[in-house]
Structure 1
């Protein structure tokens, strides 16, 4: 058994091996490999800079119109026990007290709007799978920004697992985001790729 004073040397050797493994790792395109703790290397998809830029632009556009007591979030899961699904939207809006949770997830009934920015690796998930998941979880609004098509679609009024209303505009035309937001989203700022 190693003695306590030997721990830094052991950690250094372990870290060195992890860095060697990280440097030698052939991560698939679109994935990032990180060392986040003692558990080893963690791989997760990483968005492109343009993808993150479009998410940031959406965040900036939403902020002045957020209902009181809400904020945007882009890292927590929306966990849907009722339908056995869990997603991490690119951005969503929920009450601050719900987001200030010790959990890494929030329930879907607290989400006012979920937004996804399509990327080459997420197009089927964002355009198809999540289009079924979000209304099944009764999330009132689903905003789909599609830089591959240069279009934005707003889905609304979930009923029986489907959105009953949708509006699609090309980049440059405004899309009306209904109450409790109540504003015209300027889609001309988004960048196609």
Structure 2
């Protein structure tokens, strides 16, 4: 059994930055940290994700593992050996197969924000990669923009 390291302080600060942006832009949604998600095509059907953006109240009554219906996924890369394979390769396919409409990857190693969307047949059909500092437009059903300039202070 492999134990995943606890996220560092910059990882937590990025999560809080994103939480604030989501609350300002979409009061009808909630960003929940460290959720268990049922993703049948990824890692034996279970993924522990950095955060899920869901309609307010939609996790009520859920146990440790939630269905992927209505979820926007967020991942913030950590400095561990599993980051490349997990966050950049396996997770996009697993989340697309689960029907998650938007996968937002905040990649600290590459200083970029990657937006995957248009899931079909187990893959995202559209991917946009922008450097920290760019305005990142999150497509519907999320439908707001992020100024990623503040992410520059959390690299390292």
TM-score range, shorter chain: 0.7 to 0.9
Change (3 A) 1:180 1:108: same
User: What number of residue pairs does the alignment pair up?
Assistant: 150
**Relative contact order (C-alpha < 8 Å, sep 6+): which is higher?**
2
**Unaligned 5+ runs, structure 1:** 1-30, 32-42
- CA drift of 1:67 comes to 6.1
In the alignment, does 2:42 pair up with 1:79?
Answer: no
In the alignment, does 2:101 pair up with 1:132?
Answer: no
Aligned counterparts of 1:93 and 1:147: Cα–Cα separation in 2? 20
Correspondence for 1:53: 13
**Max Rg structure:** 1
Aligned counterparts of 2:139 and 2:11: Cα–Cα separation in 1? 25
- CA drift of 1:75 comes to 2.7
Q: Please state which structure has a larger fraction of its residues in helix.
A: 1
**1:67·1:180 contact (CA, 8 Å) conserved in 2?**
no
Change (3 A) 1:61 1:152: same
Aligned counterparts of 2:123 and 2:40: Cα–Cα separation in 1? 18
Change (3 A) 1:67 1:134: farther
Among 63, 67, 70, the alignment partner of 2:23 is 63
- CA drift of 1:148 comes to 0.9
Residue 126 of structure 1 aligns to a residue in which SS?
helix
Residue correspondence of structure 1 range 93-132 to structure 2 within 5 A: 93-111=53-71, 113-121=72-80, 122-124=82-84, 125-132=86-93
Change (3 A) 1:88 1:179: same
Q: Please state which structure has a larger fraction of its residues in strand.
A: 2
- CA drift of 1:101 comes to 1.8
- CA drift of 1:82 comes to 6.7
Among 156, 165, 168, the alignment partner of 2:129 is 168
Correspondence for 2:109: 148
Q: Deviations over 1:132-163 (max 9, x none)?
A: 11101110000000111110000000001110
